[in-house]
Chain A
């Protein structure tokens, strides 16, 4: 090893050490300042509910955290928690922030945003009444705003979720692990809670497995003679075929005896929702009503699961017409037929998911429409298309094709082909597509003018440069 080889290593090492020492020095007097600045930022955003002397750190949310909880800050000295959450109210999302002390009592709770239809009573009084309450006290019926029961219940449930998330209360009902464990022999993997907020009351929870798309549904029904709840869990695949059913606390008969029956449970296997008919099932003798209640609950759960569509499901229906990265731009004042509106981020176009009523049978017909950036229809896909009195699914190619290449304004009766005898269904759907087309954001005139001016200027500059160069040559 010569001096020539060693010197570069030594010099580089010395420089690295010197820089590291400099950074350590700067860090030593900026570390506390940065920490204080971050705490100040959190305090500012939560100043209305968080005690001023608290020093908090953000807690990572896991899959067991109730969905309404958005952030949890834990006080470093164990003084409590500050939680922000977003609960579904009667007419809007209700954003709240609250602080909980070390004993699980609410210190202060505040609503940060809501658009509920409450006119009577004071929400301020209601929210201040939550102070000093713990999980058990939240069940107090006096905690209610008159003429706004749904809203006040949503707020109480949200706060209850905050207490569950911070470990001061147990989640009501069965836990996620417990429910999934009952049918783990039929389906396993990574699940997400997809229970819609408007699910039927007998359907307690629906989970979907992320990779296979299989579902697990937890239902709660009433027994035949004794009004005691019977519970059960069903696992079914992404096509809606039942993989297996497990009964929990199955109460049948007048004496309340637990009696799981293998043949009743077996008769669910490998069937679709439509196949769960009286003729196809085996019911326990003398407790047919209980069994039918349970069967109906499972059927409802399967139908609810089938109606759950994620954003990628919806966009996937028209992926042959448009693809890319989409964002949800559904306007808050969207027409009732327009359920979702997505915009492709690079400006390729839009996708709209609409739902209308069929002609004779008041069952919803669904469809997805792909528009280009100018609002011209690229393609339409019908889903659960119900036409006619019999409710038979009947997608018609001519009707669908008559949408292609047209803008919303061009979808007139003269320009369209409607399915014979179900004109009203078709027109309902057409009107929904028109409403979706009109909801697409239009570029303001000024922007178009501006872009045009820029484009012309650019072309003029390039032309000038080319001409100048030719003259020079």
Chain B
């Protein structure tokens, strides 16, 4: 039981890292990783929204009808994003100015809606909170890694503090869009290479059970995905046995 809770939390950190494995939330991942401070701000804001929205959606999972579940999720997520915005504007105005329009864009971050759809609406409150925390921390770690590389080698500083011996040998393109994509791609490649075996096998299948947006894209129905998920669980049991 305890292991299951821990695995839910740890899943989002590396195995199913939302940015580097599931390749979700690419827009803020590229736009907010020009500096470490911005990346940390975005990561923390997204984590708070993820945990809160997952908890509330899990609480209301038996109340929200299927036909309006997406609008309800979006209203809940937008509400929490606005709360975070107001709190940041009031108590961290400098960070608020730095994040600009990307703070509001957390509403349409596919990680949050994706986890609400894939996990929170089918699991209990504690599990959903752990999943939100794991995914949020995984998002934060990925952004932090990208921002560190881009700021250190692109601007010769870390969190705004200049690094004396690197300042004159920077590669400015790393702080711009092309450099962002390059760092992003290289990190994905590294994670894929050193990724855990199970995670790597799943992704080779290229079928709907490996896709986090399966139900959203309409290729499978809820019942089919349920069956596929059960099949995978049985296969894992057999392998472990």
Contact = CB atoms under 8 A, between A and B. Distances in A.
A453 B60 CA distance: 53
A446 B79 contact: no
Nearest to B84: A26
Given A447-B172, A454-B173, A11 B86 contact: no
Question: Interface SS of chain A: helix, strand, loop or mixed?
Answer: helix
Interface stretch (B67-75, B120-128, B218-226): B67-75
Nearest to A40: B93
B186 A41 contact: no
Interface string B51-67: 00000000010011101
A12 B82 contact: no
B159 interface: no
B75 A446 contact: no
Interface residues of B, number: 30
Contacts of B48: none
A137 interface: no
Contact of B89 (A7, A37, A451, A465): A37
Looking at A9, A12, A465, the one whose CB has the most chain B CB atoms below 10 A away is A12
A333 B90 CA distance: 43
Given A19-B76, A22-B83, A450-B173, A30 B65 contact: no
A26 B72 contact: no
Contact of A30 (B75, B89, B172): B89
Interface string B175-207: 000010010001001000000000000000000
A402 to B, nearest CB: 36
Contact of B75 (A15, A38, A451): A15
Contact of A15 (B72, B90, B182): B72
Nearest to A25: B83
Interface residues of A, number: 27
A34 B90 contact: yes
Contacts, number: 71
Interface string A438-457: 00000000110011011000
A442 to B, nearest CB: 14
Contacts of B179: 454
Contacts of A16: 75
A19 B90 contact: no
Nearest to B169: A446
A446 B168 contact: yes
Nearest to A447: B172
A11 B69 CA distance: 10
Interface of B: 60, 63-65, 67-68, 71-72, 75-76, 78-79, 82-83, 86-87, 89-91, 93, 168-173, 179, 182, 186, 189
Given A447-B171, A447-B172, A461-B189, 14 more contacts: A7-B65, A8-B67, A12-B71, A12-B75, A15-B76, A19-B79, A26-B82, A26-B83, A26-B87, A34-B89, A34-B93, A446-B168, A450-B171, A465-B189
Task: Give the 10 A-B CB pairs with smallest separation, nearest first.
Answer: A19-B79, A450-B171, A33-B90, A30-B90, A8-B68, A30-B86, A8-B65, A37-B93, A12-B68, A8-B67
